[in-house]
Amino acid sequence: MKLLSKLILFVLFIGVLVIVIFYARGYRPDFKNKSLTPTGIIAITSNPKTAKVYLNDKFQGVTDINLSLPPGNYQVTIKKEGYTSWSKNVNLKGELVVNLDALLFPVNPSLSPLTNLGIIKAFSLEENKILLFSDSGIYLFEMPKTPLSFFPPLKTIAKRELFPKEIDFSKISVYTSPDLKQAIVDNYLLSLEEENLSLFNLSLSESSKQALISAWEDKKLANLSKILETYPKEFNKIATASFKIIDFSPNETKVLYQSLENINLPLMIDPPLIATNQTKEERRLKKGNFYVYDKKEDKNYEIGDGKFNNFIKWYPDSRHLVIEEDKKISIVDYDNLNKQTVYSGPFQANFFDITSDGKIIVLANLNPEANKLPDLYLVGIK
């Protein structure tokens, strides 16, 4: 009798264990068909939080939310009042989890002045630094890394009277060292770490200027090569021979590039990973077209064709690109979906920068009747 009781308890334990395992894997009872049906999960997050989630136009709740659903195609839309909306088609399969993280932006961003110089020309550098040229001299602008920074964001590099009068700052050429400690402005070597009280003229020896620029360019290429070495060997080989690397994402897991020839990009991870980004990729590369490659998922997405000449940069989260186009600034997912206009106010073309916390810096003249030159403004899109 005791043996029978133990056997019954054992069978019940096994039965409950099987049910728990199947439930954890996404199976749910289908009483109509008298069977267990596999389900998948769509895990949805957003920034900002508490955005409304719609599934095939039906309200499901607010973010963050996990939706357990039968396999099928779903249109997921995320909305929040006062912000842009976001949507994506999902082909959900049983036992799999699809993660969606939507980034929404204010419909009416704020605009705050950062300088009052009257800027003739601006050059974006790395590490949230901008080199500014004005009638009074050259300045290095650096966004504070913390809100309560004790260091002023504007540092004098060289006063205008140090330069010959015939030098036109609007037509100036600038080369920076890989460590951003030095710059060649026209024919003059400047320190970017302190104010220059005198100028070192490189024009006295044109060969030394070209040699220094070449050495800097070689170092920058070497730095790019080091990052490429972390990518699959086959991709590294093809990229070195056939791509123009434009920029790596901040976390260095994705690369924005232009293909210099027609070529097929082979699978680097075979068989492909499951539960990855479902956006259709493009591995038949066309000469002149622009692409983003994701080394973690071995996915490649077309960003633009050979006529694509827009000013473009990575967003700090490494999941979006910022594009200047048609007198507006837009942010798009790295797979070229969900393009959202984040700023369409006044700004100077071919220049913008992005702060480490995701705001945009533009050159704008908000009162051209009183001001001849623009200044830096911060566009609060977060």
φ/ψ of 303, rounded to 5, equals: -105, -35
DSSP per-residue letters across 42-67: EEEEEESSS-EEEETTEEEEESSEEE
Confidence of residue 155 (pLDDT cuts 50, 70, 90): very high
- For residue 99, give Cα distances in angstroms to 64, 92, 273: 11, 11, 14
Selection from 305, 309, 312, 301 nearest residue 286 by Cα = 305
CA distance 149 to 339: 34
CA distance 4 to 132: 86
Cα-based angle 243, 246, 248 (whole degrees, multiple of 5): 105
pLDDT tens, position by position, 168-208 = 999 999 999 999 999 999 999 999 999 999 999 988 766 78
- Which whole number is the average pLDDT over 106-131? 91
DSSP per-residue letters across 235-291: HHHHHHHHEEEEEE-TTSSEEEEEESS-EE---SSSSPPSS---SPP--EE-TT-EE
* pLDDT > 90 fraction of the chain, expressed in percent and rounded: 68
* pLDDT > 70 fraction of the chain, expressed in percent and rounded: 86
In this model, does residue 18 exceed pLDDT 50?
Answer: no
* pLDDT score at 95: 74
CA distance 87 to 326: 23
Other beta carbons within 10 angstroms of residue 324's beta carbon come to 20
Name the least confident of 24-28, 97-101, 164-168, 185-189.
24-28
Evaluate the omega torsion of the peptide bond into residue 48 and state whether it is cis, within 30 degrees of 0: yes
Single pTM value for the model: 0.85
In this model, does residue 252 exceed pLDDT 60?
Answer: yes
In this model, does residue 33 exceed pLDDT 60?
Answer: no
CA distance 192 to 158: 9
**Helix and strand totals (H; E) in the chain:** 3, 31
Selection from 280, 285, 283 nearest residue 335 by Cα = 280
In this model, does residue 80 exceed pLDDT 60?
Answer: yes
Element of type H or E holding 20 = helix 2-24
Residue-wise over 184-199: b if at least 16 C-beta within 10 A, else e? bbbbbbbebeeebeeb
Enumerate domains of the chain plus CATH numbers. 2-103 (2.60.40)
